[in-house]
Amino acid sequence: MTTFEQVPVFQCEFEDDRTGLSKETIKRALADNLFYIQGKVPATATPNDYYMALAYTVRDRMLQRWFKTTEVYTKKGVKVVSYLSAEFLLGPHLSNNLINLGIYDLVRQVVEESGLDFVQLREIEEEPGLGNGGLGRLAACYMDSLSTLEIPAIGYGIRYEFGIFDQEIRDGWQVEITDKWLHLGNPWEIPRLEETIEVKFGGRTEAYYDEKCRYRVRWIPDKVVKGVPYDTPISGYNVNTVNTLRLWKAEAPESFEFQAFNVGDYYGAVNRKVVSENITKVLYPNDELMKGKELRLEQQYFFVSCSLQDMIRLHLQKGESLETFHQSFAVQLNDTHPSIGVAELMRLLVDEYEIEWDQAWQITQNTFGYTNHTLLPEALEKWTLSLFKNLLPRHLQIIYEINQRFLGQVRAKYPNDSDRLARLSLIDESGEKYVRMANLASVGSHAINGVAALHTELLKRDVLGDFHELWPEKFSNKTNGVTPRRWIVVSNPLLANLITRKIGVDWISHLEDLKQLEAFIEDAEFRREWRQTKQDIKGYLATYIKENHGIEVNPESLFDVQVKRLHEYKRQHLNVLHIITLYKRIKDNPNIEITPRTFIFGGKAAPGYFMAKLIIKLINSVGDVVNNDPDVRDRLKVVFLPDYNVRFGQRVYPAADLSEQISTAGKEASGTGNMKFAMNGALTIGTLDGANIEIREEVGEENFFLFGLTTEQVYELKSKGYNPWDYYHNNPQLKQVIDLISSGFFSHGDTNLFRPLVDSLLYHDPYMLFADYQSYIDAQDQVNQAYRDQEHWTRMSILNAARMGKFSSDRAILEYCQEIWNAVPVKIELEEYIQGRA
Ligand code: 73E
């Protein structure tokens, strides 16, 4: 029995009737949780009450492991990976935890034997949409792999009250709805009120001499905010490790506001409370201009300060001195969003713990690693000096000091090179002055990595070229990966079962084992089963689309899918140009033989990104025409599925035949959807961009539909002077397609509606759709041909899945552990009485 020795007055034992795995115990736990936690009896219980009871039943079964994991980490003094991310896009917890605990079938059976509808309950869960897209989802996949690999780890982030907005489509346009994901409660989190931390903002600094006559600075803030941690257990697959995801919620401290009450400023105090609590209200949608988002810097500093203070507390609790902090924690910065951590750790060490600057700097550099996720200049974070000075006056001083010392080194190495100095400086002084967060992260970290081979090369050459010249040894590539637990086992049980029947279950935590499937490639029966599996899943998706969106799609048609955030560089509109090209062919010759296709789109546009929203409108408008034209005879269907999220991803990746990865070369840092599709047996049509390049290398060029300019060709064409107009004039097919849009054919005769989009293409085309158009159409024609030979297509599909081992997040995490974090697995052993896995 677990005994809480550290609480001598309260000697208690937790009996196994709360965590047992016999059917009777689980049934009993469901009933107990319904009654004692939800306070409901069957006569009054809603489906949500049953869902909550079920969720608590599952959470209870993680608690012993969770508790034990935390205890081992504290007692053993192991090195802990601390993943700092402004986003964790977790997706639904229930199924994932059931799979990881090995009790999915058992619990499902019990729920059904109790007369409840398991699938209905599963679908009730509100997914925590605490991220925008790939970057946030990557953090979630990495948390899963860290636990599965038994690496001591903690994720730190923000508990946004409202996550990424819900998307509705009205009259073809995107409408944003607040995501009230917490409205019915969140059974997966536990608030740890007693571990609340204070964070300071604003005010001024003051120099003084301490008792030893040393020059010091103190920060007198004008606001203090409380950070309350909410912990969520992150289970590993088939292991006892349950790591913690700790998300911070901002609250106003009572004591701080109390003074205001006393002087009679009641409303002023309430107002300040509201302002403080606003910090964690809402997730910022990306792709908006970075300018002037004071609240975003507040969010970043808030969660980073809470997290670093929390780590220092844990470190000191072990009885260690701060000189060894970097031996306790390897802190990874998920992009520049948490990069203020560099200045904050310096402030904590120097101002609060009185460590000498040079030593503090050593500790800081040894602590941090920085992952860059984008080369797009508009996404590189920078903050005006005035904003910085108002919000974080002490940090600005520290940044100046770091910069001065750093530029001193640069000057010594490259004398008389003021251009280089200006580029490397933490402060951009070319116009209005800014703090450059990528530079701060690069200077303050011992390791810098990109997220795919090409991306890392471009990073080294362009965006961080000067840093690479200075410190080549800091740079490495860590190609992204995704977790096969969520992205195959949870999302595609039919395929997972087929694979397991052939090669056993080890592939789930050793994805390289999928290679063994290649041995069955000549087995016609296996190919038939593979094909049938895909067909069945496509059938489910077709039913779902019919039931939820009223659109009839043919499950025998080729499912051509592009799901990702809407952005011009991702080129959803290039996909549309292909659809219109096919439509035009049919209109010109209604009896033409074409491979029936269903085009499926999903994705959100940043609320302030007009062009992305116009692309959504275009997709829907083209869909309206194509889907209702009798000449098409249902051979083409275009569906835009609203509110694309993790849950819908789980439905759509397994059902895809063709994965659209068509960004302009050099623009998509990695992509991770590309991996999820291929693992589930979709073939890719793609450019040589991001991780597509490595996927193609792995699966073989004969099993990949390549098109488009290379990054080098893109640069070359740009520097020669790219003129989209020439392509338009010289390609009659392209001209017809563009003219059809301009003519108002898809907009009820309105020739203005899509003009901004068409004009942007004709006169600028920054993402070179016109340059890649013909090559894309040719590749799509090859897809059509290939799909007609179902035997051959199936072989390619099997080979794609079989060769995706590299893209498991387990491989990526192992590389981070060995090459950046210096972290090793720690086995979590459970007392024998705790029931094993089902
Ligand atoms: O290519 C993806 C990459 O796969 C990249 O665009 C994305 O990160 C993924 C994971 O590595 C990404 N997101 C952001 N930057 N890069 C971003 C920027 C600002 C706010 C939120 C997210």
pLDDT at 423 over 50: yes
Do 563 and 445 lie in a common domain?
no
Residues 159-198: tens digit of each pLDDT: 999 999 999 999 999 999 999 999 999 999 999 999 999 9
State yes or no: is 226 an active-site residue.
no
Q: Is residue 41 assigned to a domain?
A: no
Residues 99-154: tens digit of each pLDDT: 999 999 999 999 999 999 999 999 999 999 999 999 999 999 999 999 999 999 99
**pLDDT value, residue 1:** 39
Do 466 and 529 lie in a common domain?
no
- Say how far apart CA 795 and CA 180 lie, in whole Å: 44
- Say how far apart CA 355 and CA 368 lie, in whole Å: 18
Q: Is residue 291 assigned to a domain?
A: yes
Do 582 and 700 lie in a common domain?
yes
Q: Which of 565, 597, 647, 803 is catalytic?
A: 565
Element (H, E) at 599: strand 597-602
Choose among 244, 300, 232, 267: nearest CA to 69: 244
Which ipTM score applies to this complex?
0.99
Q: Work out the average pLDDT over 5-23.
A: 61
- Say how far apart CA 306 and CA 279 lie, in whole Å: 13
Other residues' Cβ atoms within 10 Å of the Cβ of residue 211: 5
| Residue found under tokens 């409370």 | 273
> Going by C-beta distance under 8 Å and a sequence separation of 6 or more, which residues neighbour residue 714?
664, 665, 666, 768
Q: Which residues span the domain enclosing 429?
A: 76-91+127-479
Beta-strand ranges (E) seen in 328-396 are 329-334, 368-371, 382-384
**pLDDT value, residue 266:** 79
Q: Work out the average pLDDT over 29-47.
A: 96
Q: How many Å lie between the centroid of ligand 1 and the Cα of residue 292? A: 21
pLDDT at 615 over 70: yes
Q: Work out the average pLDDT over 692-704.
A: 98
State yes or no: is 567 an active-site residue.
no
Q: Is residue 739 assigned to a domain?
A: no
- Say how far apart CA 456 and CA 452 lie, in whole Å: 6
Contact 445, 368 (CB under 8 A): yes
Choose among 545, 639, 542, 627: nearest CA to 586: 627
Q: Is residue 815 assigned to a domain?
A: no
**pLDDT value, residue 501:** 98
Q: Work out the average pLDDT over 815-836.
A: 88
Q: How many domains does the chain have?
A: 2
Do 425 and 384 lie in a common domain?
yes
Q: How many Å lie between the centroid of ligand 1 and the Cα of residue 658? A: 23
Do 217 and 275 lie in a common domain?
yes
State yes or no: is 664 an active-site residue.
no
Do 541 and 569 lie in a common domain?
yes
- Say how far apart CA 580 and CA 745 lie, in whole Å: 11
Do 546 and 667 lie in a common domain?
yes
Question: Ligand 1: residues within 6 Å at CB?
Answer: 132, 134-135, 138, 286, 335, 373-374, 379, 451, 480, 668-672, 690
Element (H, E) at 477: strand 475-477
Contact 150, 239 (CB under 8 A): yes
Q: Which residue has better confidence, 270 or 693? A: 693
Mean pLDDT score across all residues of the chain: 95
Do 433 and 502 lie in a common domain?
no
pLDDT at 292 over 60: no
- CATH code for the domain of 671: 3.40.50.2000
Q: Work out the average pLDDT over 3-19.
A: 52
Do 329 and 256 lie in a common domain?
yes
Q: Is residue 52 assigned to a domain?
A: no
Backbone angles phi, psi at 711, to 5 degrees: -55, -45
Judged by average pLDDT, the poorest of 373-377, 493-497, 533-537 is: 373-377
**pLDDT value, residue 20:** 86
**pLDDT value, residue 2:** 44
Q: Is residue 837 assigned to a domain?
A: no
Do 467 and 533 lie in a common domain?
no
**pLDDT value, residue 583:** 98
What is the biggest distance separating any 2 CA atoms in the chain, rounded to whole angstroms?
Answer: 92
Report residue 834's pLDDT band, with 50, 70 and 90 as the boundaries: low
- Say how far apart CA 790 and CA 787 lie, in whole Å: 6
**pLDDT value, residue 527:** 98
**pLDDT value, residue 837:** 46
Q: Is residue 19 assigned to a domain?
A: no
**Domain C-terminal end among 444, 479, 514:** 479
Do 450 and 502 lie in a common domain?
no
Q: Which of 65, 676, 696, 803 is catalytic?
A: 676
Single-letter amino acid, residue 99: I
Beta-strand ranges (E) seen in 202-241 are 204-209, 215-220, 223-235
**pLDDT value, residue 272:** 81
Do 397 and 283 lie in a common domain?
yes
Residues 249-274: tens digit of each pLDDT: 999 987 555 565 567 787 887 888 88
Beta-strand ranges (E) seen in 42-183 are 80-84, 88-89, 129-130, 153-158, 166-170, 173-177
SS3 of 398-415: the string is HHHHHHHHHHHHHHHHCC
Backbone angles phi, psi at 85, to 5 degrees: -145, 135
Residue from 333, 374, 567, 609 whose mutation best tests the ligand 1 pocket (most atoms within 8 A of CB)? 374
Q: Is residue 35 assigned to a domain?
A: no
